[in-house]
Amino acid sequence: MRSIKLILAYDGTAYAGFQRQPNGVTVQQRLEEALRAVTGEPDLRIASAAGRTDAGVHARGQVVHVRTGATIPVDRWPAALNSRLPEDIAVVGAEAVPPDFHARYWAREKRYRYTFHVSPYPAPLIRHFAYHWHRPLDLAAMRRAADLLVGRHDFAAFRASGGSAKTSVRTVTRLSLTPQGTLLFLDVAADGFLYNMVRIIAGTLLEVGAGRRTIAQVAQALKTGDRRLAGRTLPPHGLCLEEVVYGDGPARPAWWADDADAADDAE
Amino acid sequence: MRSIKLILAYDGTAYAGFQRQPNGVTVQQRLEEALRAVTGEPDLRIASAAGRTDAGVHARGQVVHVRTGATIPVDRWPAALNSRLPEDIAVVGAEAVPPDFHARYWAREKRYRYTFHVSPYPAPLIRHFAYHWHRPLDLAAMRRAADLLVGRHDFAAFRASGGSAKTSVRTVTRLSLTPQGTLLFLDVAADGFLYNMVRIIAGTLLEVGAGRRTIAQVAQALKTGDRRLAGRTLPPHGLCLEEVVYGDGPARPAWWADDADAADDAE
């Protein structure tokens, strides 16, 4: 048996999220079908995935790992799998990893991007990949609010109900807003995420930019953990899991009792 | 009656091209359905369109004009039409124009972009908007070949059969290749285009970049008009009509007997 790390890109539009579930086709299901065909191992399942992206959320850099007895050279995996995958899912990297590698537990940082399309008019070519906002935004105010959220904080106010994480303390290492033509990219990097955390941060910053929420309210939300002081959850189609950063071992030592990452939530 | 110029963006993936035809749903048909609902004029048809984009080709700046008795203020047209259009078609501009304005005859220049995605791996998020090429390309060679095509030439070798244009002489005012990450943009501007001209130019430059066609062959193709010396026609999904440039009158005087633009072909 050996361990293979796979990097995945997918258009989440047609899927009920990444993770297998009884109702609806998922990315994991399609990936495992392809893995079984390629390895000839009829019961193969992925051993873990770095992020559990929600229905409609995309990825350019999702990471999974599999344990397999198949002897196909690792550089042949992408083409072999891509020939079996539907065109809205692709393997864009494969690497042999140590037997104890774990796509979720070894992840040190995940990077998500939420894309806004800011224009009076809709843009049909990017309608599945950017959230359309038709009014002007105060970018400076959005950046001031974003700066409040960087660092180690309790993000209880930026968490949808239904998540399973034990603690809502996370470390946001980057939160930047970058305009490019009519697009505005919100890039968020953290050691872990709570249920819908990026989409709630995106909604909060949007409301600040639109003058519907004050920076003081955002500070208060962070301080009190009151979900009502944060903004609404924006729709999934603007969100993309861009990259997962790994070190050469588990992100946290095994004796770490409060295993926040072990129960990391869907985005 | 007054004349309204409309700028259209569309994802051409689901359409049998722009222009109405008996087999298949077209962008024109959907646009005219929306126009009829908004104006209350049951027989309204667009008076003309700048470009006849083929099945699967996209647009960010297609231009049409309509003549109507409807008194809706011109700044309300985009929202009124967009509320009736499917989400893969959008009106992104509207302007009152003189009664003799003509979307096709007044067009001085049309700008198309063909997008390549150059990577060993496919990219699911842009699969409908970029042509995937999985090997390295010699960009310098592609640019030398592109330079040959700029100017006033007979583009007979870069024309698919089936077009109706009387002459194959066109003036290409710009032909540039711009890399951006794994994307390569081919921007082509001309006073008019022949049937599949951009897609054949794209195929020719790609073959030069891949070392499968020489620059001498491209020069020979231009000189002889021999279609076999140019490259293959690339698929439609990489192509987008970006912009149509207008002056304040017809692009050619009425006495111009060889009316090339009047029979301008689909792209």
* Closest chain A CA to residue B130: A125
CB contact at 8 A, A50 and A62: yes
* Mean pLDDT estimate for chain B: 94
- Out of B10, B123, B240, the one facing A9 most closely (by C-beta) is B123
Residue ranges, comma separated, of all CATH 3.30.70.660 domains in chain B are 111-246
Residue ranges, comma separated, of all CATH 3.30.70.580 domains in chain B are 2-97
pLDDT in tens, A37-95: 999 999 999 999 999 999 999 999 999 999 999 999 999 999 999 999 999 999 999 99
Q: Quick check: A87 and B124 CB within 8 A?
A: yes
- The CATH fold assigned to B2-97 is Alpha-Beta Plaits (3.30.70)
- Closest approach of A260 to chain B, Cα-based (Å): 31
- Closest approach of B132 to chain A, Cα-based (Å): 12
A100 classed as catalytic: no
Q: Can you give the pLDDT at residue A121?
A: 97
What mean pLDDT do residues B238-264 have? 74
Q: Quick check: B127 and A58 CB within 8 A?
A: no
CATH 3.30.565.60 correct for A110-246: no
Largest pairwise CA distance in chain A: 58
Taking one residue from A and the other from B, the number of pairs with CB-CB distance under 8 angstroms is 69
What mean pLDDT do residues A247-267 have? 63
pLDDT in tens, A94-116: 999 999 999 999 999 999 999 99
- Closest approach of B215 to chain A, Cα-based (Å): 32
Q: Quick check: A11 and B125 CB within 8 A?
A: yes
* Long-range contacts formed by B24-32: CB under 8 A, 24+ apart: B24/B55, B27/B53, B27/B59, B27/B62, B27/B89, B30/B85, B30/B86, B30/B89, B31/B64, B31/B81, B31/B85, B31/B89
Nearest to B177 by CA among B204, B154, B214, B157: B204
CB contact at 8 A, B195 and B163: yes
Helix axes B197-209, B139-149, angle to 10 degrees: 140
Q: Can you give the pLDDT at residue B254?
A: 59
pTM of the predicted model as reported, rounded to 2 decimal places: 0.93
- Out of B9, B10, B125, the one facing A58 most closely (by C-beta) is B125
**Can you name the residues that pair with B112 across neighbouring β-strands?**
B188, B241
H-assigned helices in chain B: 27-39, 77-82, 139-149, 197-209, 215-224
Q: Is B239 helix (H, G, I), strand (E, B) or coil?
A: strand
pLDDT in tens, A161-186: 877 778 899 999 999 999 999 999 99
Between the two ends of chain A, the Cα-to-Cα distance in Å is 31
pLDDT in tens, B11-70: 999 999 999 999 899 999 999 999 999 999 999 999 999 999 999 999 999 999 999 999
Burial class (CB in 10 A: 0-12, 13-18, 19+), B46: buried
Q: How far apart are CA A65 and CA A6, in angstroms?
A: 6
- State what percent of residues in chain A have pLDDT above 70: 95
* Mean pLDDT estimate for chain A: 94
Q: Can you give the pLDDT at residue B165?
A: 77
Which residues in chain A are closer than 8 Å to B78, comparing Cβ atoms? Answer: 120-121
CB contact at 8 A, B187 and B256: no
Q: How far apart are CA B117 and CA B184, in angstroms?
A: 6
Which residues in chain A are closer than 8 Å to B122, comparing Cβ atoms? Answer: 9, 82, 87, 90, 92
Q: Quick check: B93 and A129 CB within 8 A?
A: no
**Helices and strands (H and E) in chain B: how many:** 5, 10
- Could you say which architecture CATH assigns to the domain B111-246? 2-Layer Sandwich (3.30)
* Closest chain A CA to residue B61: A123
- Strand B58-68 vs strand B48-49: parallel, antiparallel, or unpaired? antiparallel
What mean pLDDT do residues B68-81 have? 97
Question: For A35, phi and psi rounded to 5 degrees?
Answer: -60, -40
Above 90 in pLDDT, residue B187?
A: yes
CB contact at 8 A, B154 and B197: no
